[in-house]
Amino acid sequence: MNNKILIADDIHSIFIEQVEAAGYKCDYQPTIKLDEALQIIGDYSGLVIRSKFNVDKKVIDAAPGLHFVCRAGAGLDNIDEAYATQKGIKLINASEGNMDAVGEHCVGLLLALMNNFFTADAEIRAGQWKREANRGYELKGKTVGIIGYGFMGKSFAKKLSGFEVNVIAYDKYKTGFSDQYAREVSMEEIVKHSDVLSLHVPLTAETKGLVNDEYLFHFKKPIFFINASRGKVAEVKAILNGIRQGKILGAGLDVLEVEKFPALADQEWFDELKHSNKVILTPHVAGWTFDSYRRISEVMASKLIALNLIG
């Protein structure tokens, strides 16, 4: 294989510094478009991408010499994993790089929801002083249910450890993962005991639409809901229905089924969503801090170097 890497997205320069020291040659083109990338990708053995375009069959077929793809983020959902694996392409992501950012962001969303921070702030700025209407809830003694106990789920649990909460976690693909931060339970126990529900799963055929009307119907108590995983895991209509029915006390959403404008504004549910004082929205930035920007690139570089692909 050659040692050339096409970097098709914005990443921290530490990645380039470290992999070039290991013998790679980086071509940094963060503004390149898909059609432009397709014309030159055949000259490279490696590709670094964030979320600019999907690394699908078309991209992979245009790159017969591709040996690895690095994604500067937690998931690989914009890469055709099955086809890449079939072609012998190594896939690298960097969940460890932004797990602390995600954990902290989720705690922030949860505290803001439980204490009406944004509503109270807006009311005071509008000349309203409503103490009773903004009385909040304490985390202490609550049960936090986590779906997915990988890097992100565990980070959130760890960040919660000083709040004297009971953290329970369900992961379909893991067993025996109970630790000092969370206790492994069944989905039935999540549904029965949770005061807070937080999602930390990748987007797959199985997780798409996981949170829908039927799923929320089975929860025994009203919940605060957090999603900083992938938007299509939770149906926005179901979340809004849950809020109207009192099943969801508040929702902190860093991700949505449809993201970015103008497409987001065209969704039939967006008007209700943006006017709800029970919802806090952030633009898919839970894992995207100034600190994680560097750390993600460091993790990717270390994983790539460890593969020792340069002979």
Assess contact for 65 and 42: CB atoms under 8 A: yes
- Residue 101, token pair as written in the block: 């950012």
State the amino acid at position 281 in one-letter form. Answer: L
Sheet containing 46-49, strands listed edge to edge, beginning at the edge strand earlier in sequence = 25-28, 4-7, 46-49, 68-71, 90-92
- Residue 116, token pair as written in the block: 């009406």
Tell me which of 259, 272, 294, 298 is the catalytic residue. 259
Residue 244 is a catalytic residue:
no
Tell me which of 193, 284, 294, 298 is the catalytic residue. 284
Residue 259 is a catalytic residue:
yes
Cis peptide leading into residue 283 (ω within 30°): no
Q: How far is Cα 33 from Cα 305, in angstroms, rounded to an integer?
A: 27
Tell me which of 50, 230, 257, 295 is the catalytic residue. 230
Q: How far is Cα 66 from Cα 303, in angstroms, rounded to an integer?
A: 17
DSSP annotation of 265: G
Q: How far is Cα 189 from Cα 174, in angstroms, rounded to an integer?
A: 16
Residue 193 is a catalytic residue:
no
**Residues assigned a catalytic role:** 230, 259, 284
